[in-house]
Amino acid sequence: MEQVRLAKFIAQTGYAARRKAEELILAGGVTVNGNPATTVTTFINPDVDRVEIFGQPCTKPEHNLYIALHKPSGYLSTTTGDSRKKVPDLLPKEATEGRRLFLVGRLDKETEGLIVLTDDGDFAQRLMHPSFEKEKEYEVIVRGRMDEKAATTLRNGVDIIVEGKPYHTYPAKVEHLTSDGKTSRFHITLGEGKKRQIRLMCAAVGHPVRYLRRVRIGSLELGDLPLGKYRLLSEQERQGLMKNAA
């Protein structure tokens, strides 16, 4: 096995994301073969070197999990917290026992759709890096008859308030617009991801969201995966997500 950065190895074990792993190293909480690791530039050979964090062995699982899940409404996109329903609750405990899961592509509680879970902290860290913005495509149903003028406004960018601050959204793709008079349905594709962004954008053009589902993250599509179900990513799908990642 070729040598890898210690922080990257720790992230790959699922113990912590790479940035947190670097903090653990600098705080003196990590040893390699019994000796304190003092810099984030430390390299190790995972096949030979013994890594411990606060005295506990840190080992990489035989294989990491890369999961695509169709999130239902009512589930929180978090792995920790209170007793409310969380996305990891949809996975069998025996499949995730002893693994720390990271969520890639969070969704608000009411939104359905594609979300990725993994115990590979390095993979998650790279996909969630601010410089990495894969297109995300959503199916949207809004109230009222949306006309082309409103759709064009969404395409060109719209002024919204995000967590108390004014923000002008990047241009978006709006396609497949249809309406039955009472509601309108369309697909919108974003290259950014502000909190509750699509709901805020649609409200800004006078069409509050009634239903929202993410159907694609980059090259990874939801397809016909049933609501509340999951599947493992293929190696080709994993590599596709990693393309151009930070």
Q: Which of 47, 49, 89, 108 is catalytic?
A: 108
Residue 142 pairs in a beta bridge with 184, 209
**How many other β-carbons are positioned within 10 Å of the β-carbon of residue 204?**
16
CA dihedral 1, 232, 193, 14 (to 10 degrees): -40
Rounded-to-integer distance, Cα 166 and Cα 197, Å? 12
Angle, alpha carbons 136-138-139 (nearest 5°): 165
Six token digits for residue 9: 């190895």
How distant, in Å, are the alpha carbons of 127, 152, 188, 242 from that of 172? 21, 9, 7, 23
For the question of residue 108 being annotated catalytic, the response is yes
Q: Strands 209-217 and 112-118: what pairing?
A: parallel
Taking every pair of C-alpha atoms in the chain, what is the biggest distance, in angstroms? Answer: 70
- Residue 104's SS3 state is strand
Rounded-to-integer distance, Cα 50 and Cα 183, Å? 60
**How many other β-carbons are positioned within 10 Å of the β-carbon of residue 10?**
27
Active site residues: 108
